[in-house]
Structures are given as structure tokens and as C-alpha cells.
Amino acid sequence: MSGTSLDGIDVAIVEITGEGWNKKVKTLAHSTTPYPRAVREALLAVSNAGTHTAQIGMLGFLLPELYAKAVRGLCLKAKIPLHSLQLVGCHGQTILHIAEPVRFLGHRLRCTLQIGDGSVLAERLSVPVVSDFRPRDMAAGGQGAPLVPYADYLLLRHRKRGRVALNIGGIANLTAIPPSAPPSKVIAFDTGPGNMVMDQLVSLHTRGSRRYDRDGVIARKGRISRWLLRILLRDPFFRKQPPKSAGREEYGGEFVEHLVSTRLPMEDLIATAGALTASTIALGIRRHVMPVMPVHDLVISGGGIHNRFVLNLLASELPNVSIHSSAEFGVGAGAKEAIAFALLAHETWHGRPSNIPSATGASHLAVLGKISPGPPQGNRRAKSI
């Protein structure tokens, strides 16, 4: 898994046993491998309009080389033989995601593009690969996101406690699971920017020497601009009813340029961006979740778990909710999305659907992704990554 924050490659090796919603998932190992700086800069460049087609194509073949290297490195570190892996789930790198239909050549279309060719990865690892998960949900009328709710429901549902699984990656997204609810009652959506805006500001502030504000140290030196925060919160996205999804198209370079144009001190902008993340998460929970279910637990994963500034703001916004790291539930905070796509790949391999229409807006359940076969001699089914 490599997310919109562009911070690197998350790998998780898991063992899946059982069937249906009673299946068990055991995490055997996980790691994060940062992108080389030149690769990250190239990915940022192709995430904007006007990119040269050849550059996208070359990155699509380069990324699986890096993914394969990350997988081999984790197998070596965890002493798991590479040949024991039976299936790989690869999300790829999102460089375009248009969730709402737009007019194009006389048609109303949604569009999503994740690069990182599954065939190259299958060839390098000699393991079948499931990739390109999002287009099938879009074809079924959904937004192609969020897809992690399948894993959230499987891993975190509870008979008596209402839980919200929150992932603070580049974009913040949540899955709300009512007590004893079937999958069709799950609520899931993107709340708005997660780390994306803060990370871009930190990179500008430090002239590229830092990629993110670890533990919110820089934000704590600044002051939240209340007038700017009020303006940012007027964004219609925050008032929109789910399902809804966002990406770099909304909160990328152009958005950050607008913030910088205010000429506020960079520490203040970083603090205000952190407040925007916390405020919109809390707003999403209060507006779209609490009216329909009790919220006992907020279970957080993603890079934002390391930003104490944002977590403290969240705690103050949601004083009656118990806040946890997903690690407390056996799901590493940095590994959850990689684990989720291992699960989605497992379901696809077995011909089973894994989108949740109440989360994505799809008209029906769908089997997600494309399969790139492994070696001709056949494959067994055991561990997935």
C-alpha cells in the first residue's frame, strides 16, 4: 500500500483463515519503506495536471520494482521465505481520483488512476497479484472509495460498542460500525485533509529537510488562525452527505498555495492545518455518525497517530469518546491499510465481493481488482500481502 501522503511503501504479511465474516487475520510482519526523494518528487509532479504521458508510464513500471524490493526486504527481516507467499494485494499509487461524475466527450464519467503495474510485480515476486481495486466499484456506480471499511468491519466490529475506525493518512477517512450491525449499516467517508496539507507546509517550511511534523512539534510552536480556520471550514465538501471522497485534487498544491498567500507565519499555518484536520474529523463524526449510532470508541491508524497536536485537538473536540490506537486491537497503526488490501485481494482471489455499497455509493456488491497470474506451475493459497 502506498497512500496519498506519498510517504512510502507499507507492506504487511498476514495469514487469513476461515470463511465469511468469521475469518481470522493474523499479522506476521509489517514494515514501511520511504520512497527515495527523487521518486517522491516525481510522483508529486504527476499528481498535477499537464503531466507527460511517458513519465506516468515509466513510474507505473518503476513502482512495482520498488514494491518488490520492499516485500523481499520484509520477508528477509521477518525470516519468512518469499516462496511461502501465495498472493499479493497491491493498491498502487493514486495519481488521479475524480469521485463525482464530470462531462467528458458527451459522457458523464468518474475516473480513478492508480499506477504500479501488477504484472511487473507478479513477475518480480513469482506470486499472483491482485491490483487496481477501485475502478470496479466506480463502474458499479460508486466513488471507488473508501475500500478499507471491509477490513474495518471484519477486524473491529463489536456486539455492544459503537466504533469509529479513523485512518489519518494524506486524507482522513473513517468507518463507523454500529453495535451488532450487518455490513450494510456501515457508514464510511473521507472527512477531508489528514496529513496532506500539513506535510506540504512542513516541506516548504523546512525547505524539504522534513516530510512531516513528527509529534506535532512545529504546530505546537504556532498559533491556530481562527479567522482562516473559519474560512476553510466553509468548504462545501465538509457539509456534503456521505458517501464522499477527496484527494490531492482538492487538498494538494493549489490549496497549499492559497494558504501560503495569506502570509501568516508558517508555524501558524501548520497549526491551522492541524486544526482543520481535527475539526473536520470531529465535524464528520458529529454530523454524520452520532445522529444514527452511539460512538464509544475512536480507533486511529495511519501516520497521524504520531501527531500529538492533532490527537489532543481531537480529544478536546470529542470529550466523551474513548480514543485508541489500532495497535491496541492487534492492527499496527502503520500497517492497517496494507492489511486491508491483503484482505481485499484474498476475497477477489476467491471470487467474492469486498466493496461495501453503503460506504462507496455503489449500486451493488462487486468483486474488485485485476489478477496478474503467478508462475505457470500453479499456486497454493495461504499467506497474503
Percent of the chain whose predicted confidence (pLDDT) is above 70: 97
3-state per-residue secondary structure call for the chain: CCCCCCCEEEEEEEEEECCHHHCEEEEEEEEEEECCHHHHHHHHHHCCCCCCHHHHHHHHHHHHHHHHHHHHHHHHHHCCCHHHEEEEEECCEEEEEEEEEEEECCEEEEEEEEECCHHHHHHHHCCCEEECCHHHHHHCCCCCCCCCHHHHHHHHCCCCCCEEEEEECCEEEEEEECCCCCHHHCEEEEEEECCHHHHHHHHHHCCCCCCCCHHHHHHHHCCCCHHHHHHHCCCHHHHCCCCCCCCHHHHCHHHHHHHHCCCCCHHHHHHHHHHHHHHHHHHHHHHHHCCCCCCCEEEEECHHHHCHHHHHHHHHHCCCCEEEEHHHHCCCCCCHHHHHHHHHHHHHHCCCCCCCHHHHCCCCCCCCCEEECCCCCCCCCCEEC
pLDDT of residue 380 exceeding 80, the answer is no
Position with higher pLDDT, 296 vs 1 = 296
Residue 42 confidence (pLDDT):
81
Which whole number is the average pLDDT over 353-375? Answer: 97
Which whole number is the average pLDDT over 234-240? Answer: 95
CB within 8 Å of 375: residues ≥ 6 apart: 126
pLDDT tier at 381 (50, 70, 90 boundaries)? Answer: very low
Side chain identity at residue 26, one-letter code: K
- Find out whether 213 and 198 touch, Cβ atoms under 8 Å: yes
Beta carbons within 10 angstroms of residue 363's beta carbon = 10
Most confident of 53-62, 259-268, 370-379: 259-268
Which whole number is the average pLDDT over 29-41? Answer: 91
Q: Model's pTM, two decimal places?
A: 0.85
Side chain identity at residue 279, one-letter code: S
First to last CA, the chain: 9
The dihedrals phi and psi of 88, each to the nearest 5 degrees, come to -120, 130
- Find out whether 276 and 230 touch, Cβ atoms under 8 Å: no
Residue 382 confidence (pLDDT):
43
Instruction: Please give the domain boundaries of the chain with CATH numbers for all domains.
Output: 8-144+334-384 (3.30.420.40), 149-329 (3.30.420.40)
Which whole number is the average pLDDT over 130-157? Answer: 97
Which whole number is the average pLDDT over 33-59? Answer: 82
pLDDT tier at 124 (50, 70, 90 boundaries)? Answer: very high
pLDDT of residue 31 exceeding 80, the answer is yes
Q: What is the CA radius of gyration of the chain?
A: 20
Residue 51 confidence (pLDDT):
60
- Whole-angstrom Cα distance, residue 204 to residue 256? 10
Residue 376 confidence (pLDDT):
86
- Whole-angstrom Cα distance, residue 94 to residue 46? 10
pLDDT of residue 180 exceeding 50, the answer is yes
Pairing, β 93-104 against β 107-115: antiparallel
Residue 106 confidence (pLDDT):
80
CA-closest candidate to residue 288, choices 189, 201, 219, 167: 189
> Mean pLDDT over all residues of the chain?
93
Which whole number is the average pLDDT over 151-171? Answer: 97
pLDDT of residue 86 exceeding 70, the answer is yes
pLDDT of residue 50 exceeding 50, the answer is yes
Residue 52 confidence (pLDDT):
76
CA-closest candidate to residue 184, choices 326, 370, 353, 340: 353
Note the pLDDT tens digit of each residue in 314-338: 999 999 999 999 999 999 999 999 9
pLDDT tier at 385 (50, 70, 90 boundaries)? Answer: low
